Amino acid sequence: PAWDEKAVQAMFAHMGAINDDLAESGELITGYGLREPAAGRAVSLDGEGRPVVSDGPYSETKELLAGFWVLDCESLERVTEIAARVARCPQPAGAPE
């Protein structure tokens, strides 16, 4: 499914609200959104220890890291509550869960 402008703005609003709430609660240490997979690079080493750079995205990829937060939470339950809220991010119809 395509991420049109409306879907992207809904996602930004959802994530922005989470950022604001985490900053207000004092739980947010840092967090960043990352670039799309096509802009990423994988670096490995060859048999001689030299870097080998590959680009993406890869058709076999099932997951990707779109961003991250570093939080200071009181409990695993609180972290799970936050993660569930993140998982409820709006997305285009037909997008995988």
Residue range 70-94, pLDDT digits in tens? 999 999 999 999 999 999 999 888 8
Q: In the chain, count of helices (H) and strands (E)?
A: 2, 4
Residue range 20-63, pLDDT digits in tens? 999 999 999 999 988 776 677 778 899 999 998 887 655 555 66
Indicate the domain borders of the chain: 5-36+64-87
Q: What angle do CA 42, 46, 47 make, to 5 degrees?
A: 155
